[in-house]
Structure 1
Amino acid sequence: MPEHPDSLSQGARVRYYAGNLVLRGLIGATLAVPYRWRVPAMGWLVSRVVAPLAGLRRRVRDNLALVCPEMPVAEVNRLCRAVPDNAGRTLIELYSGAEFLRRAHAAPITGPGLAALEAARAEGRPVILMTGHFGNYDVARAGLIHRGHAMGALYRRMANPFFNEHYVRTISGIGTPMFEQGRRGMIEMVRHLKGGGIIAIVGDLHAHGGRALDFFGKPAVTSVVPAELALKHGAEMIPVYAVRKPDGLNFEIEMHAPIVHSDAETMTQAINDGLEELVRRHMDQWFWIHRRWKPWFDVGLQPGQD
């Protein structure tokens, strides 16, 4: 990912700058609307305007054709609208500051993972919280920080360096430290973990150098580094997800049982399996707009989508 605009060609710099202006303008205009209407309005704009222009509907359709070929056409069409809608809601929520945080702080927490987190903290053991691009993945981080569980988070730099600058500033408002994916960020994150800290990792993206593990019945290249860190440093590994409620504005935080320590691939597969089960219950809340099944060596299933 380009770290600075100066590293881009002139054409790419113009494209990224223009794209950032459009997104900033869209976000700024939507922020003028009261929160109750702002969130669904941004969802509608991304679903009905941005998604068709950016090819997001096609991405959703292609992913579903790959892993859910039996899905009825009507349901595919619904998800082609609903998935970008959730992505749009997530984007404007992150930029809504205190109004969003009030909702995140009020989100109830269910599941055995909370007790496991509290037990680990009482014993001074490190914790790795695993999540995915589901619902609004920053709700869980905000909710747990509000309850006294300070944590760091690993993030992946945006391709657009102009947008990345204010995006990172925005998500840092939920809590710090933030560790950028890469060598320096990894060193800082490991240091934080070794000190008995909590880190949050979004683990459902295609990861160069990862392992071909199963997700929705197809091989998906997945990083096993979080599991390796858990094994090396004796960290509890707990899946956590924020499920958007039917009203489209509020959430429930699900904290699953800790992943049993075994080997890195088995543990990571357990993460994939738990996320898949959750996604099957809420198909419209996972980010099907990502290239999750990209080709990597001889593993990939979607050639031509790099």
Structure 2
Amino acid sequence: MAEPTFSLRHWTQDRALRGLIWLLLRLPYRWRVPLCGWVLSRIIAPVAGYRRRIRDNLALVLPDLPKAEVERIVLAVPDNVGRTVIEIYSGSEFIAHAVSHPLTGGGVAALEEAHRQGRPVILVTGHFGNYDASRAALIARGYRVGALYMPMANRYFNEHYVKAISGIGTPLFPRGRAGLADMVRHLRSGGMLGMLVDQHMHHGEQLSFFGRPALTALSAAELALKYDALLVPTYAVRLPDGLSFEIIVEPPIPRGTPEAMTQALNDSLEALVRQHIDQWFWIHRRWKGAGKARQRINMKPRP
């Protein structure tokens, strides 16, 4: 296999991020986390175009939000993203905050029962709060949780990012053929698998999110059906102290078609985002081609 082509832009970005992370890790945790949030919100976000993207997404799906609330969200969202990044690199200190509160939600008993019986579980979350906090909290309680992750385009950053998330817990499975066999073995052995399903997927199904068409991967539901696994939404809501989390485990999604089950996952995440609107990663291009997709949906013949 040929060596990947050197990218000066990616290498430079990685060195800058490595330097920032190294400096922040020299600070006490209670200073490090909010400082990284401030840096990303006030310095990086304007340069990277995150503020414009957040405003565009909010204008698309929540056009009636007051201007003052939009501007609050524009600052708060990258602050949460920055906190999330440095938390993931903080290892045991982050895990201690992730497990500082008991599990809540109507799905806790079902999750415990599946764990006792050795039944596989697909744990689905979104880019919300800190998406790795629920995995950290469950692993620390003895649950056998693996995670499916998307390798980053910047391979230099990806190397140490994967090392950081491995410190929270393993096994980890890269999306694609490379991780498929190990992931299937993990599920068949009764393991739990964490997945993120709230990003635009070019080959996904046109489902609804915040009342707009959003291409969504059906893979979590398809895996649950194929391997008789529970499909369980789980989230980590950042608490007012900015450092700890409420870990929510919702009841399993009822079995049905992959489309219906995945739409239920979208609805679950949307309901939580509406309660904590500044904790979802509005910087993602979640509704790419939303106008064209809406036209295609409207053109479909009615049954």
State TM-score, norm by structure 1.
0.93
In structure 2, distance between residues paired with 1:176 and 1:296: 36
Please say if 1:277 is aligned against 2:279. Answer: no
Q: What pairs with 1:194-209 in structure 2 (closer than 5 Å)? A: 194-209=188-203
Q: What pairs with 1:200-279 in structure 2 (closer than 5 Å)? A: 200-279=194-273
For 2:28, the aligned partner's letter is P
In structure 2, distance between residues paired with 1:299 and 1:190: 33
For 2:93, the aligned partner's letter is E
Q: What pairs with 1:23-38 in structure 2 (closer than 5 Å)? A: 23-38=17-32
In structure 2, distance between residues paired with 1:123 and 1:149: 12
Secondary structure in 2 matching 1:299: helix
Map of 2:107 onto structure 1:
113
Quick one: structure 1 residues 207 and 169, their matched pair in 2 at CA, closer, same or farther if it must change by over 3 Å?
A: same
In structure 1, distance between residues paired with 2:180 and 2:198: 18
Secondary structure in 2 matching 1:85: helix
In structure 2, distance between residues paired with 1:297 and 1:181: 29
**Offset at 1:121?**
2.0
**Offset at 1:300?**
7.4
In structure 2, distance between residues paired with 1:75 and 1:151: 37
Map of 2:16 onto structure 1:
22
Q: Would you say the 8 A contact 2:208–2:214 is kept in 1?
A: yes
For 1:238, the aligned partner's letter is V
Map of 1:169 onto structure 2:
163
Map of 1:88 onto structure 2:
82
Taking only the aligned residue pairs, the percentage that are identical comes to 58
Map of 2:280 onto structure 1:
286
For 1:119, the aligned partner's letter is E
Secondary structure in 2 matching 1:24: helix
Q: Would you say the 8 A contact 2:120–2:229 is kept in 1?
A: yes
Q: What pairs with 1:117-128 in structure 2 (closer than 5 Å)? A: 117-128=111-122
Secondary structure in 2 matching 1:7: coil
Q: Would you say the 8 A contact 1:239–1:258 is kept in 2?
A: yes
In structure 1, distance between residues paired with 2:77 and 2:30: 20
Q: Would you say the 8 A contact 2:212–2:290 is kept in 1?
A: no
Quick one: structure 1 residues 57 and 253, their matched pair in 2 at CA, closer, same or farther if it must change by over 3 Å?
A: same
- Unmatched runs of 5 consecutive residues or more in structure 1: 302-306
**Offset at 1:298?**
4.7
In structure 2, distance between residues paired with 1:250 and 1:286: 16
Secondary structure in 2 matching 1:109: coil
Match for residue 7 of structure 1 among 4, 14, 30 = 4
**Offset at 1:296?**
8.5
**Offset at 1:208?**
2.5
Please say if 1:136 is aligned against 2:130. Answer: yes
CA RMSD of aligned residues (A): 1.7
Give CA-to-partner distance per residue, 1:150-209, whole Å, 9 cap, x none: 111000111111000000000011111100011221232122112221111011111231
**Offset at 1:40?**
0.6
Instruction: Give the aligned length.
Output: 295
In structure 1, distance between residues paired with 2:201 and 2:173: 17
State TM-score, norm by structure 2.
0.94
Match for residue 187 of structure 2 among 186, 190, 193 = 193
For 1:24, the aligned partner's letter is R
Q: Would you say the 8 A contact 1:239–1:271 is kept in 2?
A: yes
Q: Would you say the 8 A contact 1:220–1:294 is kept in 2?
A: yes
Secondary structure in 2 matching 1:110: coil
In structure 2, distance between residues paired with 1:205 and 1:257: 22
Q: Would you say the 8 A contact 2:213–2:290 is kept in 1?
A: no
Q: Would you say the 8 A contact 2:147–2:171 is kept in 1?
A: yes
For 2:25, the aligned partner's letter is L
In structure 2, distance between residues paired with 1:165 and 1:297: 37
**Offset at 1:297?**
11
**Offset at 1:262?**
0.8
